[in-house]
Structure 1
Amino acid sequence: MRVLEIAGICVVALIALLFAIFFRRRLLMAGGGTIRLQVRINTIVPGRGWSPGLGQFVGDELRFHKMFSLAIRPKRILDRRSLTVAERRLPSGPERLTMPGHWVVLRCRTGAVDLEIAMAETTVTGFLSWLEAGPPRDPGSLPGRQIFGPRPAES
């Protein structure tokens, strides 16, 4: 009887853990602006080290949350102002086994750090648009210049 109680507690704990993971995922997706992506967190073995997760666009940041985690904070935060895409390629070698066939790998540079992210080909267009589109600048931050009309006389 004792073995059945322990097995029952383990099953209930496992179900509660899975519920918590999927509930967290639903909460992240409820706000909108989320995409499925993978980030390469380990480069020791070529083609391996990919971590699946959700990317959440919040202002000038892309916040990466690991798929199978209970953490509320993102694992990585990519800032649009310092992020550039250096290369775009299809998955190769062992990567083809861990990613769907229509995904694209982007090698990005943020500051002095290189990083690879992978996402669906249809998502790449939206990601690149978000990357290129910046918030409007404050008109007072740029030196003024007259666009229309005659030039003012300089004394």
Structure 2
Amino acid sequence: MLDIGTLAPDFTLPRDGGTDLSRADLIGRKVVLYFYPKDNTPGCTTEALDFTAMKAQFEAANTVVIGISKDSVKKHDNFCKKHDLGIPLLSDENGTMCEDYGVWQEKSMYGKTFMGIVRATYLLDEAGKVLRIWPKVKVKGHAAEVLEAAQS
């Protein structure tokens, strides 16, 4: 994972709706980058809904929230439509951003190990430096905790 105080790696990825989004587009605002395993799974849906519900509060704190997974833009579009999500979702299908941010890690479930996205969140400052990291996120209450950090 990245270190606090370092400049976050640059990225340009396709997002829901078919446009691209870059870290450079976000300079001047704080940025929440939350990495999640898969669209339309219970934890990932709850997390996306929680961030969407607090979108206005994040905007009032000059902060944009962005979700990132390896799902395709088409899956993101369906996920956004199905749950009326109001936050951008980036598609990192080749995994470059996940690797750059250190969230592509070995995981285990039911005794089997595999590579996957570890649910993690980064808060970047207005210049793109890492302010805070949540390395192993528990969904319940997470969006509120991130909002509190963005407001301080």
Instruction: Report 1 or 2 for greater relative contact order, CA contacts < 8 Å, sequence distance ≥ 6.
Output: 2
**Between Structure 1 and Structure 2, whose CA radius of gyration is higher?**
1
> Shorter-chain-normalised TM-score: which range?
under 0.3
The alignment's TM-score, normalised by the length of structure 2, stands at 0.23
The alignment's TM-score, normalised by the length of structure 1, stands at 0.22
